[in-house]
Amino acid sequence: MSHSDLVQDNLVSLQTHVLAEEARHPGAEGDLSWIISAISLSGKTIANKVRRARLDDVLGAHGTENVQGEQQLRMDVIANEIIMRCLGDRASIAVLASEEDEEPRILRKSNEGGKYCVLFDPLDGSSNLDSAVGVGTIFSVTRNDANEPDGERTVCRPGTEQVAAGYILYGSSTIMCLTTGNGLDMFVLDQAIGSFLRVRTGLKMPERGAIYSVNEANASSFPEGYQRYLADAHASGYASRYIGSMVADVHRTLIRGGVFLYPPTQKNPTGKLRLLYEANPMAMLIEQAGGLAFSGDRRTMDIHPDRLHQRVPVVLGSRSEVERVQSFL
């Protein structure tokens, strides 16, 4: 037996991976690696809090509302604070924009080294925490515009301008899916050594999949095209899977194929999910894995946002399944 056979472990860490990715870009100065490392630290910290939430008695409402008028849970506030602290001291971050905060936080100007902006949903699906299903953190990294003094306008950029995007799923294992625009890579947190280890590079999602994922209780208020798609899916023997946590539902869609939808409803006429914190980063990941992501009749990442907390309809998943939905719209 050779010596190398004695160590079976996969030993490419997230850190090693990002540094190697960055080395492929001439002139890169390592700033993005520092940002991803801060996101990784926040993910590990949040994963630990999520696992202990009931023991530490931090489930339930915080007693405040966020900018969308939604009840903030204690864990939303905790996750937001962890990310703000971990990312707040990284020298190359100009702006931090969180789904939980009304205004973006401007940390430094570009002439003070602020090269990037990070947008995030700290704990998506948090209303599911008390039933212990998967929840997640979603993030998006864009370049800071040196000529734009207004923080909100700086981060209101189309998804095509994202330089990195990803999510961390706090599920039966803690998983990070990441893209820096060169395919989608997947990492699993090895609790024993405290590192995210790479398990897949260039992950491609199935081309098709007879699974739809939508909150079907709202179906009667979906625009007609979505209703006709669902009727067709029923008649064609599709399976329905819906957790109600976007990160968990998108992750399954990535692995198993199919389509995830959040259409316009009576309650949310432009859809529920937020363009900058949810739809765009997921769209980048899905496209990098060979899938498609649309909002109405437009590619999600082509939308020019007009405000920070803008909501859009979402249809994303396997290429042929998204095309099938589009054919009904």
CB of 277 to ligand AHM, least distance (A): 8
CB 313 within 8 A of CB 262: yes
Closest approach of ligand AHM to the CB of residue 125, in Å: 4
CB atoms within 10 A of CB 197: 17
Which of the listed partners (ligand AHM, Mg ion, none) does 140 bind, with a CB threshold of 5 to 8 Å by partner kind? none
| C-alpha distance from residue 209 to each of 49, 92, 108, 294 (Å) | 34, 41, 45, 17
Nearest by Cα to 57 from 137, 132, 130: 130
Which of 8-16, 52-60, 121-129, 189-197 is the region at the interface with ligand AHM (rule: CB under 6 A)?
121-129
CB of 107 to ligand AHM, least distance (A): 23
The C-alpha atoms of residue 187 and residue 28 are separated, in whole angstroms, by: 23
Burial class (CB within 10 angstroms; exposed 0-12, middle 13-18, buried 19+) of 210: middle
Closest CB to ligand AHM among residues 18, 248? 248
Site for Mg ion contains 124 (CB under 5 A): yes
Residue 7 DSSP label = -
**Contact status: 244 vs ligand AHM (CB under 6 A):** yes
The residue among 142 and 245 lying less far from ligand AHM, judged by its C-beta, is 245
What pairing do the DSSP bridges indicate for beta strands 93-98 and 116-124? parallel
Indicate the residue among 94 and 229 with the shorter CB distance to ligand AHM: 229
Tell me: does residue 76 bind Mg ion (CB under 5 A).
no
Nearer to Mg ion, 185 or 278 (CB): 278
Among Mg ion, ligand AHM, none, residue 215 binds (CB under 5-8 Å by kind): ligand AHM
The Cα 89–Cα 46 span in angstroms is 18
Q: How far is the CB of 127 from ligand AHM (least distance, A)?
A: 6
Q: Is 257 in the site for ligand AHM (CB under 6 A)?
A: no
Q: Which is nearer to ligand AHM, 14 or 283 (CB)?
A: 283
Distance CA 76, CA 126 (A): 7
The one segment of 85-93, 114-122, 180-188, 260-268 that binds Mg ion by CB under 5 A: 114-122
CB-neighbour burial class of residue 143 (10 A; exposed 0-12, middle 13-18, buried 19+): middle
Does position 121 interact with Mg ion (CB under 5 A)? The reply is yes
Q: With binding defined as CB under 6 A, does residue 102 bind ligand AHM?
A: no
Contacts of 96 (CB under 8 A, 6+ apart): 83, 84, 87, 88, 104, 105, 107, 117, 118, 119, 120
Look at residue 70 and give the partner it binds from Mg ion, ligand AHM, none, a contact being a CB closer than 5 to 8 Å depending on partner kind: ligand AHM
* 70 vs 302 by CB, closer to ligand AHM: 70
Residue 251 as a binder of ligand AHM (CB under 6 A): the answer is no
Q: Which does 272 bind (CB under 5 to 8 A by kind): Mg ion, ligand AHM, none?
A: ligand AHM
Q: Cα(256)–Cα(47) distance, rounded to whole angstroms?
A: 24
**Distance (Å, rounded) from C-alpha 117 to C-alpha 132?**
31
Which residues of this protein are in contact with Mg ion, per CB under 5 A? Answer: 121, 124
Which residues of this protein are in contact with ligand AHM, per CB under 6 A? Answer: 70, 121, 124-127, 215, 244-246, 262, 272
